[in-house]
Amino acid sequence: MADKFRVWITFENDHQILDTDWSQVEVIMASLQRLIHGPAAKMHIISEIRVIDMSDSIVFLMKDGVQVFPGTSHIPSAQDSLHPRTRAEQ
């Protein structure tokens, strides 16, 4: 059986709806694309996008336009070069 997921969204007024119900990853990715880059995103009315799997675990979480889970990788900046990392941090 293929993994299936749900997409829940919460609006800035705390109203919560099920956007996409038990769908495969291709459908979920299309929903995320629409929710993150579509009209609702441009109007800033979505406060949270949550994707859960069949075991009710969160596999993706975005709050106020910022991806919370899974964490994004750190991109080095010019500021990082001012503070060299220790051997343990490398």
Range of the domain at 64: 5-71
The number of folded domains in the chain is: 1
Domain membership of residue 41 (yes or no) is yes
Domain membership of residue 90 (yes or no) is no
User: What's the mean per-residue pLDDT of the chain?
Assistant: 86
What distance in Å separates the CA atoms of residue 4 and residue 53, rounded to the nearest whole number?
6
Instruction: Identify the bridge partners of residue 64 per DSSP, sorted by sequence position.
Output: none
Convert the pLDDT of each residue in 47-79 to its tens digit. Answer: 999 999 999 999 999 999 999 999 876 555 444
Domain membership of residue 18 (yes or no) is yes
Domain membership of residue 82 (yes or no) is no
Domain membership of residue 79 (yes or no) is no
| pLDDT confidence band for 83 (50 / 70 / 90) | very low
Domain membership of residue 88 (yes or no) is no
